[in-house]
Amino acid sequence: MAIKADTNMTIRMNREVKQQAQQIFANLGMDMTTAINVFLRQAISYRGFPFEVTLNTPNAVTQTAMDVAENDENMHGPFDSVSSLMDALNA
């Protein structure tokens, strides 16, 4: 049973995001309107987002390692052999 479309929705989005999404949906055999309708129907079915939405923030150790790497501090390698890598890891 087809459900008749009886309203319009206008949204604003980043042009690149739209183009990337359209390409993905085209590869799946659907247009943007169909994809958005699928998302909305799934949200209704799930009574929320149809996927997990979280704020994944790194823990303190990971954040410190990321900061060090971004500042090119304490960088090691490349290694010529597995033994030289292991020596550096065990130092």
- Model pLDDT for residues 5-60, shown as the tens digit of each residue: 889 999 999 999 999 999 999 999 999 999 999 999 999 999 999 998 888 888 88
Quickly count: other Cβ atoms within 10 Å of residue 37's Cβ: 14
28 lies in some domain = yes
Give yes or no: residues 38 and 75 share one domain: no
Residue 75 pLDDT grade (very low, low, confident, very high; cuts 50, 70, 90): low
Give yes or no: residues 64 and 29 share one domain: no
Closest CA to 25 of 35, 16, 17: 35
2 lies in some domain = no
Give yes or no: residues 39 and 64 share one domain: no
Spatial distance between the Cα atoms of 35 and 50, rounded to a whole number of angstroms: 13
